[in-house]
Amino acid sequence: MNSTDFRQKNNNFPLLAAHFQSITVNALINDSTAVYNWYVVLKDKIGCIGFCLGGRASFVANSALPLSASVSFYGGYTHAVSHLAATLHGPQLFFRAGKDQHIKPEHVHTVIESVKNAGKDYINVGISYADHGFFCDARAAYHAEAARDAWCMVKSFLKNKLG
């Protein structure tokens, strides 16, 4: 399937919104724990990365599990779970798109202030010239330069934190 076909088949966010909103923190923790328990037998340092809802899931997983690092792209609705910042285990890398109309600047501020006030290690990267979904080459918002810049930072961050 090429990126145009993907966009045409996956562009009905209102239809998906009910499913998106029904995902609970406990469900995210349960799913993350299952993956962690499977993977921890293979590695001693584990990281997590997620995009949009997955960015929130990555943040939640970092709060519930002894991760060595976590990466959140966009982090849809992370502000709703910002109280979990107090229990973050590993450093958190955030990516925000400067042209993002889905995630409000005040929501970003809420999350960053929560992490800062909790005294947790974090990096907050705002890519001013990109829009929500800039990393996904199957979206109209894909921005190759932003994706390359972000990926270089992700690789460096994870290498430093995971070895």
Structural domain boundaries in the chain: 3-162
Max mean pLDDT range (26-30, 50-54, 122-126): 122-126
Whole-prediction pTM: 0.83
Query: Residue 7's pLDDT is what?
Result: 46
Contact indicator for 49, 71 with CB cutoff of 8 Å = yes
Contact indicator for 89, 66 with CB cutoff of 8 Å = yes
What is the enclosing helix (H) or strand (E) of 109?
A: helix 105-117
- Give me the mean pLDDT over the 120-142 stretch: 96
**To 5 degrees, how large is the angle CA 96–CA 100–CA 106?**
70
Q: What tokens were used for 113?
A: 């202030």
Q: Please state, in angstroms and rounded to a whole number, the distance separating the CA atoms of residues 154 and 79.
A: 22
Q: Which residue has the tokens 């209102």?
A: 14
Query: What average pLDDT is seen over the chain?
Result: 90
How many residues does this entry show for the chain?
163
- 11 pLDDT tier (thresholds 50, 70, 90): low
Topology classification of domain 3-162: Rossmann fold (3.40.50)
- Give me the mean pLDDT over the 27-36 stretch: 87
- Give me the mean pLDDT over the 4-20 stretch: 61
Query: Residue 13's pLDDT is what?
Result: 64
51-108: pLDDT as tens digits: 998 999 999 999 999 999 999 999 989 999 999 999 999 999 999 999 999 999 999 9
Query: Is the pLDDT at 31 greater than 60, yes or no?
Result: yes
| Phi, psi torsion values for 74, nearest 5 degrees | 70, -55
